[in-house]
Structure 1
Amino acid sequence: MKLIIAVVQDQDSHHLLSSLTEHNFRVTKLATTGGFLRSGNTTFMIGTEDIRVDKALELIKENCESREQMVAPVSPMGGNADSYVPYPIEVEVGGATVFVVPVEHFHQF
């Protein structure tokens, strides 16, 4: 058995949740916040049999697209201002960060 932990952008979470439940995956959805852009993320915890991991990863890849987004940088507070860029920059956001870890024990009460 494996535990898949997938961190996705909020705007992709609804489609991913629908797709996972449609394919009979059991999913726990957590509201989380990213550290880089300080924007909302959703973290999915999916417990599944080893043979279904590839299908889950395929669904995550299909439903979580990366995109370009303009962000206004936060000014440094007492830090080094040499690398501070005072105008909005375009960064790639979205996609998914996925961890697949082995499950030694599983209990359902």
Structure 2
Amino acid sequence: MKLIIAIVHDEDAARLMEELTNNNFRMTKLATTGGFLRAGNTTLLVGTEDEDVDKVISIIKDNCEARKEIVSSPAPVSGTAGIFIPYSIEVMVGGATVFVVDVEKYVKL
């Protein structure tokens, strides 16, 4: 048995969860925050048999597309007044970070 940990963009989470459910995979959803943009992410924990790992990863890939987004970022303090000057930067968002780990023991109570 494997545990798949998938960290996905919040915008992709609902669609991904629906598709996993439609394919009879159960999951646990955790609300998480990314470190770089401090934006909301969703972490899904999916327990599955070894032979289904590739199918789950394929579903994640099909539903979590990486894309460019413009975000506003504060600049360092400017001048003597200590004013923050926001500026726009282009970043890649979406996609997924996926970890697959062995499960030594699984108990459902």
What TM-score does the superposition give when structure 2 sets the normalisation length?
0.88
In structure 1, runs of 5+ residues without a counterpart are: 78-84
Secondary structure at 2:73 match in 1: coil
**Structure with larger Rg:** 2
Cα RMSD for the two superposed structures? 1.6
Provide the C-alpha distance between the structure 1 equivalents of 2:76 and 2:23, rounded to a whole number of angstroms: 46
Provide the C-alpha distance between the structure 2 equivalents of 1:74 and 1:106, rounded to a whole number of angstroms: 46
**After the TM superposition, which of the residue ranges 47-56 and 85-94 deviates more from structure 2?**
85-94
Match runs of 1:15-34 below 5 Å: 15-34=15-34
Residue 26 (structure 1) shift: 1.1
Match runs of 1:1-109 below 5 Å: 1-76=1-76, 87-109=87-109
Q: Deviations over 1:1-45 (max 9, x none)?
A: 000000000100011000000000011011111111111111000
Provide the C-alpha distance between the structure 2 equivalents of 1:22 and 1:33, rounded to a whole number of angstroms: 27
Structure 1 segments of 4+ aligned residues over 6 angstroms from their partners:
none
Tell me the number of residue pairs that the alignment of Structure 1 and Structure 2 aligns. Answer: 102
